[in-house]
Amino acid sequence: MKISRLPIAVAVAVIALLATSAPAQASFSQIFSATSGDSCRYGATQGTLVWRYSTTAPIVPITVDVRGTAVDRPVPNEWSCRDDGFYSVAIFTAFGSSPVRQDVRANNEAVSFTFTLVAPSTAGLSRLQVQVCRFPLPVTQPPGLGYCGTPQHYAPPVYDPPPPRV
């Protein structure tokens, strides 16, 4: 019995065509950090940003995955800072056609977080601002009584995909 190699060759060609016509989504990681700016560093956040890019033109960052920890001191078993009656808020603001924001609160604790900020349009995201602010307890007090550290800005890496194969 003779086996035809034509169906196998066609299957290999189709798989190769599909692999080159649908590019994989590109992503790039960055480390971030920000503090509340006070001498004791009562409020702080750090972690990783993962910028994800569109797979069609224009190739721009369309989401950013944010993973990390927000800390408000003193945390249990740490006596480096006295309890000052404030809580910390790590504020993440992604900028594109309009801002997209996510806050993470902590009060005398370390809080782990993971979330994704999505571009509100196909124009993508141009940067992410990370800032840590502190506000007095109880949470119901007006936010004007707090203070913030210097905002930290993170730009997505420029993605320059290779030209398509001919």
Distance (Å, whole) CA 56 – CA 41: 43
**DSSP three-state, residue 13:** helix
Q: pLDDT confidence of 150, banded at 50, 70, 90?
A: very high
Query: What integer best gives the mean pLDDT of the chain?
Result: 84
Distance (Å, whole) CA 161 – CA 87: 44
129 in Cβ contact with 151 (< 8 Å): yes
- Span 122-145, pLDDT tens digits: 899 999 999 999 999 887 766 678
Report residue 78 as tokens.
Answer: 């740490």
Q: What are the extents of the domains in the chain?
A: 23-152
Cis? peptide before 58, omega within 30° of 0: yes
Decide if pLDDT at 161 tops 90.
Answer: no
* pLDDT in the model for residue 145: 81
Candidate from 34-38, 50-54, 71-75 with smallest mean pLDDT: 71-75
* pLDDT in the model for residue 166: 75
User: Which of the pair, 119 or 79, is modelled with greater confidence?
Assistant: 119
Distance (Å, whole) CA 101 – CA 27: 21
* pLDDT in the model for residue 143: 62
Decide if pLDDT at 87 tops 90.
Answer: yes
Name residue 145's amino acid. L
Distance (Å, whole) CA 95 – CA 90: 16
